[in-house]
């Protein structure tokens, strides 16, 4: 703030006031100075010097204060006093825009000031957390295992799991495993982890010469015994014998490291196979359809083979899983195994 001049020359005052006498000037000057001092005293009592910024230019002052309402009131008082002092010549006349000093604006809040809360992590799916009944409809199946047990039927089957029958690690298929040294079912020399078709609480037995009956599978063969590398993955059976078998044969393929997916009809493997160069672990679809005395085999949606229905045609039923075609007498160690993963199994009768 500019202090008032301690001395004013009479000539200057006379020139500014248009020739008025000194006696007429002094009361106005004193009044203006007194008012200005009163404003300064009022500001000093309301806030500390560090909280106040002021500028008096052409009779204008902007004062920022933490006290509510003090800015506008002080500004009006200084404006009035400044105008009076300017009128009588105490303050110089300044042309142009008034100069104002304002409090600087606060910087915008930084986006990094507070980190966002961490996103809720998804609960990981534990391997084997799902039950077999969550993967396949097992309501019309019975499980036969290479452990000497009588088997497991629905509804127990929907939640039953062991090393030979379990949900795979990704939760989208059921692993069927049968070790070469496992026990066998009656009338068989080989171990199996296999589903047998049921009709409610009884065993299924339908007529292959009438109606249409289909087993649809999506599956993959994942392991074969090394010495006799053969596994049956699907069957049409009658009361005594197998009519149709889908076989993964590790010795039939002409390509090294590949497997032939073939069909046995009446116990004899056909010259035409479903896939001569199957790669272990690859998913495929196979459909076995019996209609009006004929049997059709489809592979990945294409018809590959068809046969006449034979045997006790009124006692047909489906089977699916892992029927390992080896035992220790064939040269494989008891711990060698066959393994099949089934992702979908559907039976229809019409």
Return the C-alpha torsion angle 297, 300, 303, 309, nearest 10.
Answer: 10
Read off the pLDDT band of 3 (50, 70, 90).
Answer: low
Instruction: Name the pLDDT band for 254 (thresholds 50, 70, 90).
Output: confident
pLDDT at residue 34 above 70? no
Q: What is the mean pLDDT of residues 157-176?
A: 96
pLDDT(172) > 90: yes
**Assigned token pair, 107:** 């910087």
- The dihedral formed by the CA atoms of 63, 66, 69 and 73, expressed in degrees to the nearest 10: -20
- Structural element, H or E, at residue 306: strand 302-308
Which of 29-33, 61-65, 248-252 has maximum average pLDDT?
248-252
Is the pLDDT score of 99 beyond 60? Answer: no
Which range is least confidently modeled, 1-5, 118-122, 195-199? 118-122
Tell whether the model's pLDDT for residue 281 goes beyond 50: yes
Residue 6 has pLDDT above 90, yes or no: no
Distance of CA 252 to the CA centre of its chain: 43
- pLDDT tops 60 at residue 243: yes
Q: Which two tokens stand for residue 16?
A: 């500014």
Predicted confidence at residue 318, as pLDDT, reads 98
Predicted confidence band of residue 127 (pLDDT cuts 50, 70, 90): very low
Strand (E) or helix (H) holding 264: strand 259-265
d(CA 255, CA 276): 8
* pLDDT value of position 312: 93
Whether residue 62 is predicted with pLDDT greater than 50 in this model: the reply is no
Unique residue bearing structure tokens 């000057």: 29
CATH number for 132-349 (one of 3.40.250.10, 3.30.1300.10, 3.40.190.290, 2.60.120.200): it is 2.60.120.200
Distance between the two ends of the chain, CA-based, in angstroms?
106
The confidence score (pLDDT) of residue 68 equals 40
- Mean per-residue pLDDT for 9-15? 40
Question: How do the domains of the chain map onto residue ranges?
Answer: 10-88, 132-349
Looking at every residue in the chain, the average pLDDT score rounds to 76
Helix (H) or strand (E) holding 11: helix 10-16
């Amino acid at each position: 703030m500019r202090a008032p001049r301690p001395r004013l020359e009479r000539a200057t005052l006379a020139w500014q006031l248009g020739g008025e006498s000194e006696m007429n000037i002094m009361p106005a000057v004193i009044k203006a100075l007194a008012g200005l001092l009163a404003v300064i005293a009022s500001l000093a009592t309301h806030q500390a010097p560090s909280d106040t910024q002021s500028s008096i230019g052409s009779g204008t002052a902007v004062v920022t204060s933490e006290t509510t309402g003090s800015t506008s009131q002080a500004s009006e008082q200084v404006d009035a006093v400044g105008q009076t002092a300017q009128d009588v010549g105490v303050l110089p006349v300044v042309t142009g825009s008034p100069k104002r000093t304002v409090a600087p604006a606060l910087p915008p809040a930084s986006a990094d000031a507070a980190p966002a809360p961490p996103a809720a992590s998804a609960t990981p799916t534990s391997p084997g957390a799902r039950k077999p009944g969550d993967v396949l409809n097992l309501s019309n199946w019975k499980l036969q295992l290479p452990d000497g047990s009588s088997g497991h039927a629905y509804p127990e089957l929907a939640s039953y799991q062991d090393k030979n029958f379990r949900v795979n690690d990704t939760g989208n298929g059921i692993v069927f495993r049968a070790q070469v040294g496992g026990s066998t079912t009656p009338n068989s020399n080989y171990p199996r982890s296999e589903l047998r078709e049921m009709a409610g609480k009884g065993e299924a037995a339908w007529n292959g010469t009438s109606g249409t009956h289909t087993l649809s599978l999506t599956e993959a063969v994942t392991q074969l015994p090394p010495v006799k590398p053969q596994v049956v993955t699907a069957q049409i059976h009658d009361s005594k014998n197998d009519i149709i078998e889908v076989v993964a044969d590790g010795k039939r393929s002409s390509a090294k490291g590949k497997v032939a997916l073939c069909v046995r009809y009446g116990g004899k493997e056909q010259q035409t196979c479903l896939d001569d160069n199957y790669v272990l672990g690859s998913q495929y679809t196979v459909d076995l359809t019996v209609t009006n005395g004929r049997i059709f085999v489809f592979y990945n949606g294409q018809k590959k083979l068809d046969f006449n229905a034979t045997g006790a045609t009124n006692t047909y039923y489906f089977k699916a899983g892992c029927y390992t075609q080896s035992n220790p007498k064939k040269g494989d160690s008891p711990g060698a195994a066959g393994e099949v993963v089934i992702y979908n199994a559907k039976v229809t009768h019409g």
